[in-house]
Structure 1
Amino acid sequence: MMNTDKLLVMSRKHIPAVVQTHLTSFPSFFLSSLGPRFLALYYSGICTATESIAFVYLNDSGMPLGFVAGSTNPRGFYSRLLKRDWLKFAFASLGTVITRPSAMRRIARGLLHPSGNPVGNDVAGLFSIGVSPELQGTGAGKILVNAFLETAKRRGCKRVFLTTDRDNNESVNIFYQKLGFTIERQYETPEGRRMNEYWIQLTDGL
């Protein structure tokens, strides 16, 4: 039985801690380069959407230092967020676009995510997971992923997918493989990042 004593459904009050954990976990990623304000809008949108699945994991002091976030019926999820709060996202990314005009195309592609994600209420996408250094090695990541999978199954999902970097990311790839995820597709982004697309079948054992 999974220990959920330190697990909570993500809410708006957790967003500042989630943003900080994201920045710590992914310091060189493009989404992090958009800054805390953009990330706060992004995670606020995720945790308030009806199709979202999002949890935080607390440390011994009750601070949320780990999180997982995603949604059911993932195709078009980002575009639905953008459509709802497009003006806020525009202002939040303004600084990045001014200093790096080429970033606008990547922001649009990342948010609109036109047809790359699977569609259907029987599928869920795990978009993001982060655990601060303090919680690494404690099993927090496994608990967060299992909570996501169990919630997806209760909502009628049969499969869950996620993507992660193929190169210089061995520990993360091993982590997902140990949890039962298998690589079903490998591809390269327009920026040259080589990616693994993982899937897991939700069974009665979850």
Structure 2
Amino acid sequence: MRFMDPQHLPYVVREHRRLFPDGFFARLGPGFLSSYTGLYLTSPHALAFIAESEGRPVGFLVGVTDPVLHRRHTLRRHGGKLLTHAICGLAVRPGLLLHFLRTRLPRYYRKLTRRQPPSSPPSPTPPTPGPGAVLAHVAVADEASSRGIGADLIERFVAAATIAGCGRVSLVTADSPQGAGPYYERRGWHLVGRTATPEGRQLLTYERLLDTPSWPPGWTRANTPGAPTVR
């Protein structure tokens, strides 16, 4: 297990498109997905791990430790590049373009133009400390399943999020027999809500509260406060 390098992007993009083919970003094509996934390697508010066996990748995980700051970083530093890849992907996929105009464009516009609400008096109940981390995607190759690789990737992300000062971690999984809900429930995650994608796919949101830092074996603090390294 180690941090993901740019050399791993072709594998991650290929596996992402294979395992999550219905995702909107995956349907935009490998060019957009490679550019988008690469943000997890460069953003100071994101983490990307790779699992290897005999020198080749067999699993990966990407997530963010502060979604608001990660989104801001993405728009300011890489927004133009992502937009170019998205336009190219939509231009050669007219059906997807029409779907985007009908379902996603209004939502994205509302997010980008949303005004910040006026400040309110402090709540007498203290909020959950720290930002909420989000585990975006985790996947393990079929030939490496049932070896605890997925659980190890998740625990490393949880540990890193804890050290980064996050108070909780959340994720979404499909609300279907193929979803991973029971897997997460067995590992202490709690169902906190249900949502739906613009395409109508039903999703379950799970959350795990974090407490004191707990480093996986072989980990230590790096020179940058809050950043984990693998020895």
Q: TM-score by structure 2 length?
A: 0.74
Q: Give the deviation of 1:200 after TM superposition.
A: 0.2
1:13 matches 2:21: no
Q: Give the deviation of 1:16 after TM superposition.
A: 1.4
Q: Give the deviation of 1:190 after TM superposition.
A: 2.9
Q: How many residues are treated as equivalent by the alignment? A: 195
> Per-residue CA shift, 1:70-124, capped at 9, x if unaligned?
1112136335313322222122223432223224443785799669xxx984321
User: How has the CA–CA distance of structure 1 residues 178 and 108 changed in structure 2, closer, same or farther, with 3 Å as cutoff?
Assistant: farther
The answer for unaligned runs of 5 or more in structure 2 is 115-127, 215-231
Greater relative contact order (CA < 8 Å, ≥ 6 in sequence): 1
Give the Cα–Cα distance (whole angstroms) in 2 for the partners of residues 113 and 59 of structure 1: 41
**In the alignment, what sits opposite 1:102?**
98
Counterpart of 1:133, as a letter, is D
Counterpart of 1:86, as a letter, is G
Counterpart of 1:63, as a letter, is R
Q: Give the deviation of 1:192 after TM superposition.
A: 1.4
Q: Give the deviation of 1:65 after TM superposition.
A: 2.4
Counterpart of 2:85, as a letter, is A
Counterpart of 2:17, as a letter, is L
**In the alignment, what sits opposite 1:131?**
140
What percent of counterpart residues are identical? 28
> Is residue 129–residue 167 contact of structure 2 (8 Å, CA) maintained in 1?
no
Counterpart pick for 1:77 among 67, 70, 74: 70
Q: Name which of structure 1's ranges 146-155 and 102-111 shifts more when overlaid on structure 2.
A: 102-111
Q: Secondary structure of 2:21's match?
A: coil
**In the alignment, what sits opposite 2:35?**
41
Give the Cα–Cα distance (whole angstroms) in 2 for the partners of residues 183 and 30 of structure 1: 24
User: How has the CA–CA distance of structure 1 residues 168 and 30 changed in structure 2, closer, same or farther, with 3 Å as cutoff?
Assistant: farther
> Per-residue CA shift, 1:4-24, capped at 9, x if unaligned?
xxx011122221121122122
Give the Cα–Cα distance (whole angstroms) in 2 for the partners of residues 64 and 45 of structure 1: 19
Give the Cα–Cα distance (whole angstroms) in 1 for the partners of residues 80 and 165 of structure 2: 34
Counterpart of 1:180, as a letter, is G
Give the Cα–Cα distance (whole angstroms) in 2 for the partners of residues 23 and 56 of structure 1: 17
> Is residue 22–residue 32 contact of structure 1 (8 Å, CA) maintained in 2?
yes
Give the Cα–Cα distance (whole angstroms) in 2 for the partners of residues 130 and 180 of structure 1: 19
> Is residue 45–residue 69 contact of structure 2 (8 Å, CA) maintained in 1?
no
**In the alignment, what sits opposite 2:193?**
185
**In the alignment, what sits opposite 1:201?**
209
Task: Note the aligned Cα RMSD (angstroms).
Answer: 2.7
Counterpart of 2:133, as a letter, is A
> Is residue 73–residue 120 contact of structure 1 (8 Å, CA) maintained in 2?
no
> Is residue 43–residue 73 contact of structure 2 (8 Å, CA) maintained in 1?
no
**In the alignment, what sits opposite 2:25?**
31
Q: Which has the larger radius of gyration?
A: 2
Give the Cα–Cα distance (whole angstroms) in 2 for the partners of residues 31 and 145 of structure 1: 22
Give the Cα–Cα distance (whole angstroms) in 2 for the partners of residues 37 and 55 of structure 1: 21
> Is residue 130–residue 167 contact of structure 2 (8 Å, CA) maintained in 1?
no
Q: TM-score by structure 1 length?
A: 0.82
> Per-residue CA shift, 1:45-77, capped at 9, x if unaligned?
1111011121110122x1122111111121363
